[in-house]
Chains A and B, each alone.
Chain A
Amino acid sequence: MADSADQSGHPPSPSGSVDRREFLNDILGVCCAGAPLLLGIVRLPAQGTSRAYDPSEHLYGMGLDPQKCIGCARCVVACKAENDVPQEPHYFNTWIERYIIREDGEVEVDSPNGGIDGFGRIENPAQVRRTFFVPKLCNHCDSPPCVQVCPVGATFITEDGVILVDEEYCIGCRYCIQACPYGARYMHPERHVAGKCTFCYHRVVKGKVPACVEVCPTGARIFGELTNRATPLARFRRFNDLQVLKPHLNTRPKMYYANLDAEVS
């Protein structure tokens, strides 16, 4: 490596320096070739795919398997880094809850710093009937109350089923935060607009999976198409008993939990 590239990682030019005339000629050539592109006369196909991203061809959802979740909260850390979520506690696009169900049926839940700080030792372990972790995030509801209540239409559902917030448009009234039954929204402390999970839309349109899915070491999160049969998500939905959160509110979530305990809310 040290022989073929300098410190910036660029290969050195064969002669050691670029001739000025040659350089200007190159620039002129690039400009001539690029002008039609810049003017929109010619269109190149999108990088990596044969054609541009078409949201009408997709509908996204996620499968979550609490039995696979080990509560490492790598997903929470990755999400905060990827989406520029404030680092301090109380602002989360996704978080991990730990459920402890005691022998007498009492339910204890905690999520210290969304799970990032790790979960404390369980007191009286002999009294525990069952314990498990539940990853939480925006449910990207098909009938989203947050979208319904937004007075200016700043939060909206995309054609491919993702709930987004237009940060240039949100007036910061916080009505959507009140309307979300899942506590999935927060007021961004610096931008003063509603913040939430975007399903990593900037990655998804490039054919990548959301950051939380990418880093999960146990495959507890499965992202994919809901309408396509030949996907891991379709397989997950075929072979598991599925639940959604708070079904009685008829928000029609697109987060499907496998074999979820009734205690989870």
Chain B
Amino acid sequence: MQGYIYPNEFELQWGLLVVLYPYLTGLVAGAFILASLERVFNVKEVEPTYRLSMLTALAFLLVAPLPLLAHLGHPERSYEIFLTPNRQSAMAMFGFVYAWYLAVVLLLEIWFDYRKDLVLWARQERGFMRWLHYALTLGATDLSERSLKFDDSAGRWITVIGIPSAFLLHGYVGFIFGSIKANPWWSSVLMPVVFLFSAMVSGIALVLVLYMITTMFRWRKIDMRCLDKLAQFLFYALIVDFSLEMLDFIHRLYEAEESIEILSQMIENRLFLSLIVLQILLGTVIPLITLALVSPGLRKQGFLRLPPELRQLVYLVAAVLIQIGIFSIRWNVVIGGQLFSKSLKGLTVYKVDVFGLEGLMMTIGLLMLPFVILWALVKVLPPWGETESVREQEA
């Protein structure tokens, strides 16, 4: 502790689990927006990641509310948020935004996309999987040209609705923080926008890593056209994200409101590692420079013409660094906003518990859970379908 904090501020209200929540929803929104690139904007290069992105979004969305639930003082009353929501409260919209996104957008889109394959699988297989796949068709086994065409156009329309929904899902999380006028670190109109672009960055980076790892474990060749395109979009999203954050930063410095002194002290004394080193330097500047040099973001072949194997490695490292950076962003927002007193006269500290309901182990567990769910989803709904360019390469 340093300076004066209000006596009730000694205990930090939102810990590691609340850091995890925006991180997970960001990955959901980002992965979905990547999927929509192929579906709506016809970016054919990223097709190999389309289904993987959708399943990733679903796996992470299923886990996203768990950290919130574990953090509540009375989780058994959480259903009240659906039954008697306070319409003035940003947080009360959580249930509706979440349910809309899960049921109307993700599940429907995945179902329409997989229906044909589910029917075909159910016809070929035997035993449990046959019944599972048949059950998942919900009895709609018509594979006529007309019905397949309907699947396609329905899927496309759901994606069109899904893009603003993904924006809503994560922009809304930003709004929860950005609308707290009592907290000068959070209160910013840019917060939902910054959250959105950082979501895209994290989603694309995650799918890039997942695509590379799953392809390697399946002993297949990585589609370099797809990977280059992913890196290119990652680069663009990162530029917008970084620009917005710098805009926020410069705006605060230039306005220099009464909170500027305590916030500067906080950055110097409490957030130096997580903000300056992890978020900005490792998580943003280094990946930005690397991608600018290697990816086709600025120049068709990149400034450094690296061989595909080396390029893969560079992309992988950049994407992992970006994940660390994005997690740091969530940390700096959630924890940073509570490290200074609202009296603007002092700083407090946050100590992470290792065990317990809100501890480090729980956080790691919840961070691993989406990957377990994704593994199961991939077993039931294999997202693979090698594109022509890979088949050519392998031939």
Contacts and interface: CB of A to CB of B under 8 A. Distances in A.
Interface in A68-109: 89-92, 95, 97, 107-109
Interface string B1-39: 001111111110110000000000000000000000000
B91 A175 contact: yes
Given A90-B11, A109-B4, A181 B182 contact: yes
Contacts of B74: 170-172, 192-193
A134 B74 CA distance: 34
Contacts of A149: 88-91, 180
A92 B8 contact: yes
A173 B183 CA distance: 17
B181 A181 contact: yes
A169 interface: yes
Given A151-B85, A169-B80, A178-B180, A183 B91 contact: no
Given A109-B345, A149-B89, A174 B14 contact: yes
Contact of A152 (B80, B183, B338, B341): B80
A171 B72 contact: yes
Contacts of B124: none
A180 B86 contact: no
Contacts of A109: 3-4, 343, 345
B86 A186 contact: no
Given A172-B73, A180-B182, A249-B182, A186 B89 contact: no
A113 B10 CA distance: 11
A114 B4 CA distance: 12
A179 interface: yes
A174 to B, nearest CB: 4
Interface residues of A, number: 44
Nearest to B8: A186
Given A145-B181, A145-B182, A181-B342, A193 B13 contact: no
A222 interface: no
B85 A152 contact: yes
A107 B345 contact: yes
A140 interface: no
B265 interface: no
Given A172-B73, A180-B182, A151 B81 contact: yes
A111 to B, nearest CB: 6
Interface in B54-102: 68, 71-75, 77-78, 80-81, 84-86, 88-92, 94
Contact of A187 (B73, B84, B85, B343): B73
Contacts of B92: 151-152
B344 interface: yes
B12 to A, nearest CB: 10
Contact of B91 (A95, A173, A265): A173
Given A145-B182, A171-B74, A178 B8 contact: no
A182 B92 CA distance: 23
A91 B10 CA distance: 9
A152 B87 CA distance: 9
B7 A172 contact: no
A60 to B, nearest CB: 22
Nearest to A148: B88
B174 to A, nearest CB: 15
Interface in A136-181: 136, 145, 147-153, 169-175, 177-181
A107 B3 CA distance: 10
29 contacts: A89-B10, A90-B7, A90-B10, A95-B6, A109-B3, A111-B6, A111-B7, A148-B88, A149-B88, A149-B180, A150-B89, A151-B81, A151-B86, A152-B77, A152-B80, A152-B86, A152-B92, A153-B86, A153-B89, A169-B77, A171-B75, A171-B78, A174-B13, A178-B337, A180-B182, A182-B342, A183-B7, A192-B73, A193-B73
Given A90-B10, A152-B77, 16 more contacts: A95-B7, A109-B3, A114-B7, A150-B86, A151-B91, A151-B92, A152-B81, A171-B74, A171-B75, A172-B74, A173-B71, A177-B8, A178-B338, A183-B341, A187-B13, A249-B181
